[in-house]
Structure 1
Amino acid sequence: MTRAAFVLLAATGSFALLAGAFLFQALGWAPCAMCLWQRWPHAAAVVIGALALALPGRLAAGRVLPLLGALAAATTAGIAVFHSGVERKWWQGPASCTGSGEDLSSLAGGALLPGGSDAPALVLCDSLTPFLFGLTMANWNALLSALLVLVWLRAARA
């Protein structure tokens, strides 16, 4: 495969994961704060992929942009691994989106209940919601993003 093919595969993978996240959100799976954090590096990887395909060989795009794509994929994989650990109570997550309640005191009780206020319901980052084969969306994102890191690195070496 050519470098362009690997870049296209990696960028399309990030696009698919991002599109899937938005699709499941539209179907009623509200994202937590860490879920939203995981989307930004995927969006960056899509833009990096588009630039790498539009600027092949120019401005060091040959190796630099695929390495930046790998960094973006590694970033979202890292956030997803952290989120996975928070979901499984392996470590503490941010107080603003976990059940510790430290930063939740400013919310009215109705804000914590679906339909209880005009604001969207708060989705806690530490709630374990299996999605497919006992794995959560964060677990799947960690695994698939790690694979995308390998694809981006292969693109850099091609």
Structure 2
Amino acid sequence: MTLAKLPFPSKIGLLAALASTALMGGALFFQYVVGLPPCDLCHWQRYPHIAAIAIGLAALASFAAPRLAYIFALTAILALFLTAGIGVFHVGVEQHWWQGPQECSGRIPPGLSPAELKKYLFSAKMVRCDAIPWSLFGISMAGWNAIISAAVAIALSVGVARHIKETP
């Protein structure tokens, strides 16, 4: 079956999968080529992309069952919205608008004994969620993930809404 003959929901699923694949590719490029290790919140943003890829491909594979493909496509879009939300949360942590997870924000819990402090410091992860290792136009990688993921999710949602409205 050619791409032009695919039912609309399968195409939407494919687009969601391709967008998440591109964003994951960018993240992996920065990790393995540029040498910027991801923090915990960076990993959290990757999980919905992995889901969007798998679910988007399931929508593509469900071309013979358009209703099922719609469910998969809408779930892939939801995963894009989820990663965008996590990206916004990560930006807030980076900008110190709110505190992130204790294990990656670099803050030491108060009231530790010297032995507990030593144990905490030696077991602490080295990649901080509240630091910005790279930015473009003043926007961090988490910010770009939030912007691009939300834009794709909104565009796909608008496409779905128009398609449903135009379908008799």
The alpha-carbon deviation at position 86 of structure 1 amounts to 0.4
Aligned partner letter, 1:14: S
1:29-108 superposed matches below 5 A? 29-58=36-65, 60-102=67-109, 105=117, 106-108=119-121
Task: List runs of 5+ in structure 1 lacking aligned partners.
Answer: 113-120
Q: Larger Rg: 1 or 2?
A: 2
The alpha-carbon deviation at position 83 of structure 1 amounts to 0.3
Q: Is the 8 A contact 1:6 1:154 kept in 2?
A: no
CA distance in 2 between counterparts of 1:107 and 1:35 reads 22
CA distance in 1 between counterparts of 2:17 and 2:146 reads 16
CA distance in 2 between counterparts of 1:25 and 1:107 reads 26
Tell me which residue corresponds to 1:137: 141
Q: Is the 8 A contact 2:52 2:76 kept in 1?
A: yes
The alpha-carbon deviation at position 107 of structure 1 amounts to 4.3
TM-score by length of 1: 0.83
Greater Cα offset, 95-104 or 36-45: 95-104
Distance 1:108 1:90, change over 3 A: closer
The structure showing larger relative contact order (alpha-carbon pairs under 8 Å, at least 6 residues apart) is 1
Task: Show CA shifts across 1:96-153 (max 9, x none).
Answer: 11021239943455x77xxxxxxxx611100123421111000000001101212432
Task: Show CA shifts across 1:17-54 (max 9, x none).
Answer: 01111111002011100001100100100011110011
Question: Identity percentage over the alignment?
Answer: 40
Q: CA RMSD in A?
A: 2.4
How many residue pairs match? The answer is: 149
The alpha-carbon deviation at position 155 of structure 1 amounts to 5.2
